[in-house]
A and B are shown apart, each in its own frame.
Chain A
Amino acid sequence: MTVSPTEPHLTKATRSPLLAVAGLAVEFEVDGDTHPAVRNASFELHGGQVLALVGESGSGKSVTAMAALGLLPATARVSGSITLDGAELIGAEPSLLREVRGGRIGTIFQEPMAALNPVFTIGDQVAEAIRAHRPVSRSAATARLLELLATVGLDDPARVARSYPHELSGGQLQRAMIAMAISCDPVLLIADEPTTALDVTVQAGILDLLRDLRTRLDMAVLLITHDMGVVADVADDVVVLRDGQVVEQAPAAQLFAAPRHEYTRALLHAVPTLPELRLAEPEPATPPAHEPRPLDTSAGTTPVVLLRNVVVDYPGRRRGRPVRAVDGVSLHIGQGELVALVGESGSGKSTLGRAIAGLVPVTAGTVTVAGVDVGHASRRELRTFRSQLGIVFQDPASSLNPRRTAGASIAEPLSLHTDLRPDAQRHRVNELLDAVELPSRLRGRHPYEMSGGQRQRVAIARAIALNPALLIADEPTSALDVSVQARILELLRSLQSQFGFSCLFISHDLAVVEQLADRVAVLHRGRVVEEGPADDVLRAPRHPYTSRLLAAAPVADPAQQALRRAAWRQLTTASS
């Protein structure tokens, strides 16, 4: 391939595609039934290009990629054609497929911690990938793997090579995965939700790396994602999949500017947006320290939640030092107020939520919720206090008991804390199902018989069953598709205005927070670095960390995203 990577568009029309998918259909056979996963999908990917395969869960995007690698389970029936440089991959000989996998096509997956084998070192696993395709000696493979680890931007490659997966962070692991994927100079990189499990600032770094590698190595990328922001950030062309069918196919700029298909429009519409990025004037040498603002007592009501210098330590392993998860947080949530706690993984946001719920002991400081001092309450007081509290967790699939029906799950707090008679309980459950916009016939369903969105609605109904004073929602939508997320957020907002509970909304997603929150507290390494009205914090952040966080969050608009990317680069180079 002699095409210059800088002018791929000029030659695109004249040369044959690198990857051509034509009339691809995949069906899964389960207990005699066939379930179509991909139907008659066709698209092309040219060398050096980034093609994004976009869709919600169950749209068949990952199945399509796995079909190209011949890695579908034995229950799959595949027809149609996928060619790589003209060579047919569907039904190809195992030896050809092995040569393609890891050789001509490198692959990275969603959850790097799970995608790497926990019992082998990073070095072992990368070297193995090299030696699977190149007849090189052990030492030559080692030299190459160190070079690769440096290429993907890992500091101290030798140390990383010696490490086991559990000793590294998600971002480091995904870089190591990328090193493995590009180890044999592939012509195509399949990236299946490569940043979904990562924090936004880490995501921004990984996307930057992919963009950089693609130009440097003249490598095409098949990017599978559900995140329109990520698409806007890196894709040249976009294929939108729905229920296994291609509904729209267009260059990225065109797709975002003028989506032709209704589904694409709906999808783009459902993506929460961030206000235009306005970064603060040159940063002061020392960022304005967060000071707990005097309580707003003008309303004359006492806050529902009052935190004063809350510290939470987790005991260290063995004789190690305790780990400080929350480090002196002061915060209040007024009656009927929705306060968002924003931060990346490890910032302490979930720990703080648990401390407020009385689920982890507080090391120092006081937590007062609805007049109860949670840290020093008696068992009985805690019991009463818990009836004042509803919690919604991230993944409804695991927070609902799989053996209980929706009705039974919702009724549980009622039978624990009230003495409603069975018929009154039934009535209340129906009321709650109605409140979360679920038909009452769902009450007899088990979690596995419901969709993710329905499950989360059931979890919300359970959380508000006792008319709580406070609802803690810990990443309630991050396991859901965007269109479902939009409806759940809408529901939360309407429930809050209806029932008037206060809400602590824990999230990593700034755009979601922007839609919902009255006030925002940004948590970084256990400290609140910035706090204020949502509009102020998200439009004109004062703390550099908030700015970085905002700049790293991708938006579903290629032109805006390019600006954000530039801002992010500037911020990260300035800070390093």
Chain B
Amino acid sequence: MRLLRLVSGRLVSMIATLLVISLITYAVFVLLPSDPAQLSCGRPCTPERLADARAFMGYDQPWVQQYLAFLGGIVTGRTFGSGAAAVHCAAPCFGYSFQLNESVTHLILERIPVTFSIAVGAAVLWLIIGVGTGVISAVRRGTAIDRAAMTFSTIGVSAPSYLVGLLGILLFGFTLNMVPVNGYVPLTEDPVGWLWHLVLPWCVLALISAAVYARLTRGQMLDVLGEDYIRTARAKGLRERRVVGRHALRNVLIPVVTVFGIDLGSLLGGAVIAERVFSMPGLGALLLDAVGNVDLPLIIGVTLFSAFLIILANFLVDLVYGVLDPRAAP
């Protein structure tokens, strides 16, 4: 019951946030001095052809109406143009890329498996490595293990990801010839190949984020270990492993989960650098291409989708929060 109220309340505010973001994105891109119709007009671009192209894409309308048509398309789908040349964009239609002759929804769905494979795998890895390292560092505070872990994490935090990626490719790909250096194989076609292609991007991304998480976890753990309830847990006669692993960790995870949700959300919206370095056709690569080609409908669609993922991740964090921290429940 409590959960239901939380979910429904958050759902409404999620939709409201998305609407605001879509409006702003739409306004920014449409008001930019670049004309998609001009780009697809062809040469020679006569004023009639330009006007036709505008009418076809719906750019002859005032932008508020364009925006409303865009929103309507999400619910009912849209048809651009008429007669034989008409293209249909089925609901939910987040726009149509006239350059790629494909609906934005379709383009995004095509790329999702790639980006999600990279992001989820890396996130699981960095969470385990980062939190694990942070906990051990905190418990062994001041020892050689702690110092080594923190030195390593300083390097990890400051290393640029493209550099680590390229070095990884050089070492494990070319020199040692252990893993393929680029490309993506769908999980459904070849699970082993999928895994093999992803190992390096996972490790590179995880290494860098794990460094951040190790520092965060260590700091939180040191704070929590100074709390009165930890003293109580020890005074009960619990083993140190249980004191740290149950009483302290649960409290440490509360702030860690918050950061994790946001990180994962933004990574799902496109692991831009990793996808570039490892030549993987994910959402980030799609967005970069769209920007390069000034493919406005695609840019808007991908931006909105990324925003949706971040908001969704935040929502999930709130749900997990409610489970982890009874005080946070409404």
Contact = CB atoms under 8 A, between A and B. Distances in A.
Contact of B236 (A128, A166, A317, A318): A128
Contact of A119 (B232, B234, B250, B330): B250
A317 to B, nearest CB: 8
Interface string A269-305: 0000000000000000000000000000000000000
A99 interface: yes
Given A109-B228, A166-B326, A166-B327, A117 B235 contact: no
B229 A114 contact: yes
Contacts of A69: 234-235
B239 A98 contact: yes
A185 interface: no
Contact of A109 (B232, B324, B330): B232
B14 interface: no
A101 B237 contact: yes
Given A69-B235, A101-B235, A114 B326 contact: no
Contacts of B229: 114-118
B290 to A, nearest CB: 42
A111 interface: yes
B190 interface: no
Contact of B330 (A100, A114, A318): A318
A30 to B, nearest CB: 13
A207 interface: no
B251 interface: yes
A107 B251 contact: no
Nearest to B142: A74
A14 to B, nearest CB: 31
Given A114-B229, A318-B330, A119 B237 contact: no
Contacts of A103: 237
B287 to A, nearest CB: 39
Interface string B207-247: 00000000000000000000111011111111100000001
B237 A111 contact: no
A164 B237 contact: no
B325 interface: yes
B255 to A, nearest CB: 13
A180 B228 CA distance: 15
B236 A101 contact: yes
Contacts of A117: 229, 232-233, 247, 250-251
Interface string A118-156: 111000000011001100000000000000000000000
A71 interface: yes
A102 B239 CA distance: 12
A320 to B, nearest CB: 10
**Most chain B beta carbons < 10 A, residue from A109, A111, A119, A177:** A119
Given A115-B228, A119-B250, A119-B251, A102 B235 contact: yes
A299 B232 CA distance: 57
A97 to B, nearest CB: 8
A116 B227 CA distance: 10
B236 A119 contact: no
B327 A111 contact: no
Nearest to B251: A119
Contacts of B228: 109, 111, 114-115
A540 B237 CA distance: 49
A129 B250 contact: no
B248 to A, nearest CB: 9
B232 A98 contact: no
B235 A71 contact: yes
Contacts of A100: 237
**Most chain A beta carbons < 10 A, residue from B229, B232, B236:** B236
A69 B325 CA distance: 30
A128 B237 CA distance: 10
A117 B227 CA distance: 9
A69 B233 CA distance: 12
A118 B234 contact: no
Contacts of A71: 231, 234-235
A269 B307 CA distance: 68
A119 B326 CA distance: 6
B234 A101 contact: yes
B244 to A, nearest CB: 13
A480 to B, nearest CB: 21
Nearest to A113: B228
A328 B234 CA distance: 47
B237 A114 contact: no
A128 B238 CA distance: 8
Nearest to B254: A119
Contacts of B326: 118-119, 164, 166
**Most chain B beta carbons < 10 A, residue from A111, A118, A180:** A118
B251 A98 contact: no
A69 B327 CA distance: 31
A164 B326 CA distance: 7
B327 A132 contact: no
A111 B229 CA distance: 10
A116 B324 contact: no
Contacts of A115: 228-229, 231-232
Given A114-B227, A118-B251, A99 B237 contact: yes
B237 A133 contact: yes
A164 B235 CA distance: 20
A503 B325 CA distance: 42
A102 B251 CA distance: 22
Interface string A202-243: 000000000000000000000000000000000000000000
A164 B328 CA distance: 12
A161 to B, nearest CB: 14
Contact of B237 (A98, A109, A118, A317): A98
B236 A129 contact: yes
A177 B233 CA distance: 11
Contact of B232 (A116, A164, A166, A318): A116
Interface string A75-112: 00000000000000000000000111111000101010
A128 B327 CA distance: 21
A117 B251 CA distance: 9
Nearest to B238: A132
**Most chain B beta carbons < 10 A, residue from A98, A99, A117:** A117
Interface string A547-558: 000000000000
A104 to B, nearest CB: 9
A103 B238 CA distance: 10
Interface string A310-348: 000000011000000000000000000000000000000
**Most chain A beta carbons < 10 A, residue from B227, B228, B327, B330:** B228
A100 B235 CA distance: 9
Nearest to B229: A117
Contacts of B251: 117-119
B275 to A, nearest CB: 38
B235 A132 contact: no
Lowest 6 CB-CB distances: which A-B pairs, in order?
Answer: A102-B237, A102-B236, A114-B228, A101-B237, A107-B235, A117-B229
Interface of A: 69, 71, 98-103, 107, 109, 111, 114-120, 128-129, 132-133, 164, 166, 177, 180, 317-318
Given A100-B237, A115-B228, A118-B251, 5 more contacts: A102-B238, A114-B227, A114-B228, A118-B325, A180-B236
7 contacts: A100-B237, A101-B234, A101-B237, A117-B250, A128-B236, A129-B236, A164-B327
